[in-house]
């Protein structure tokens, strides 16, 4: 006898929820393990080498060190020039509203 369609749907949905839950639970186990192992090691690196930024975008100095960049770095080569680097579109302007000691543009 063919299984009724609604049963197939309920079983499939339950299976999908189970897969998602397994992925979430597994990731949480992995998270604890990786946070305990990797984060202190990376913090040690940051502390000893006095690093300030992540090495993600190495194409320009203001994308390599967004936190250390001048306020108008993309436009330094020529005022009102267009942004050269694609990563500049990914990196949003930092929020300077609560800036403590920085100089505003």
Q: Tell me which residues touch other proteins (CB under 8 A).
A: 4-6, 8-9, 12-13, 16-17, 19-20, 23-24, 27-28, 30-31, 34-35, 38-39, 41-61, 63-64, 66-68, 70-72, 76, 85-96, 98-103
Q: What are the residue ranges of helices labelled H in 50-96?
A: 61-64, 87-90
Q: Tell me how far apart the alpha carbons of residues 30 and 104 are, in angstroms, rounded to a whole number.
A: 42
The residue among 81 and 102 lying less far from other proteins, judged by its C-beta, is 102
Our CA dihedral for 53, 56, 59, 62, rounded to 10 degrees, sits at -30
Minimum distance, C-beta of residue 21 to other proteins, in the bound complex (Å):
11
The residue among 35 and 81 lying less far from other proteins, judged by its C-beta, is 35
């Amino acid at each position: 006898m063919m299984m009724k369609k609604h049963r197939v749907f309920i079983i499939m949905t339950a299976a999908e929820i189970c897969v998602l839950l397994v992925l979430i639970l597994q990731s949480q186990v992995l998270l604890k393990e990786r946070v305990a192992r990797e984060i202190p090691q990376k913090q040690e690196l940051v502390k000893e080498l006095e690093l300030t930024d992540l090495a993600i975008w190495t194409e320009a100095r203001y994308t390599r060190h967004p936190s250390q960049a001048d306020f108008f770095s993309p436009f330094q080569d020529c005022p009102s020039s267009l942004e050269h680097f694609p990563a500049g579109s990914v990196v949003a302007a930092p929020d300077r509203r609560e800036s403590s000691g920085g100089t505003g543009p």
